[in-house]
Amino acid sequence: MLKGNLVFGQSGGPTAVINSSAAGLLTAALASPFIEEVYAAEHGIVGILKDRLFDIGQEELEELNLLTQTPSSTFGSCRHKLADPNTDESEYKRILEVFKKHNIRYFFYNGGNDTMDTCHKISLYLNKAEYECRVVGIPKTIDNDLCGTDHCPGFASAAKYVATSFMEVKLDSQVYNYPQIIIVEVMGRHAGWLAAASVLASHKGAGPDLIYLPERHFSLEQFERDVRAVHEQKGDVMVCISEGCHDKHGRFIAEMFEDSHLKTDAFGHKQLGGAAATLASFVKEKFDIKVRAIEFSLLQRCAAHLASPVDVGEAFQAGEAALKFALEGYSDFMLGFERISNAPYEIKMIRVPLAECANLEKTVPDEWINEAGNFVLQPFIDYTLPLIQGETECIEADGLPLFANLKRVLVK
């Protein structure tokens, strides 16, 4: 067994259960005789570059356990892109310097596609530098778009929130005796998993009539025809639109109109949002009825009060399993889930080579989308329902959720 210290970091957008993975990994690491000191990086890889590490050994076990019901990234996240080491290895040299200073022999990074790319680059560099360190990626994303794993921690809880919220909005929209068109925007850049989860509400009789995913090209003309057909048949129309929907030219919805310019982040991803509002303005010009735009925004990724117990448990187990595999000598992999069966629901933990999941995206299978490209079919429901089971339990104080309150003692 390789003995030494461990550092954990969080990257990318947070989820309702990302801290459950932290709890699983960190509590297991504190109990391991092979891990001497346990650290967490402030704001992910940025904290490592700045040598700002928290000493997890100073935390109370009770507070670490509360991470399982605490949303957001408790140690801080980042969207920092490392350069190609063949072009600029300065940051890699700094990472190696910090790792040597603190005898880091285990590095775990919790995030999505770009995070796995960062893990792989660091793993290759440390191996080239002949510095023994186990590098492991722990999956996290509400987008559910990581390759090599059946699903990702964070998706199920967000899916449960989306489906529940659609059911609630649907009932609210039917209060008055006049028809409405409601357009709801859900997160998802290139993969429509989360928007597709709105079909669970329709499955229960209170969901959207139309669902549009990035997996199919979006057409304003077809959208107008679809809305008109539902309106003529039912009066009310509820639409779920993924923020990443784009036309055959690759233009996102906001870019289909004049005077639009989307900013990009450090990874070159366009900062999306506003699809529902844009389409609502478009529809208002075509229909003489009330139109409402709703954007779930951050709520869909931080609603820990509605977290799926399956999701919470699997996220925790992912942290534990990642450490177990690393202690067994494995490195340069992402922890993944392999589904064994739906009924009863069963999975097993697997190792996915980082090279097979870094910078790659898993999309909703085309055969799970209807021919018209405006709704989701039964196989998606069968896939997702097992992931959202269970009644959410939460320790409260004065009627409000009790979140972890960590000391965050910096290592000197």
Measure the CA–CA gap between 106 and 37, rounded to whole angstroms. 10
Cβ neighbour number for residue 397 with a 10 Å cutoff: 8
Write down the catalytic residue from 114, 117, 143, 236. 143
Whether the link from the prior residue into 344 is cis, omega within 30° of 0, is yes
Non-local CB neighbours of 346 within 8 Å, separated by 6+ positions: 339, 340
Active site residue 143: yes
Amino acid at 243: E
Given a contact cutoff of 8 angstroms between Cβ atoms, the answer to whether 337 and 149 are in contact is yes
Give the residue numbers marked as catalytic: 143
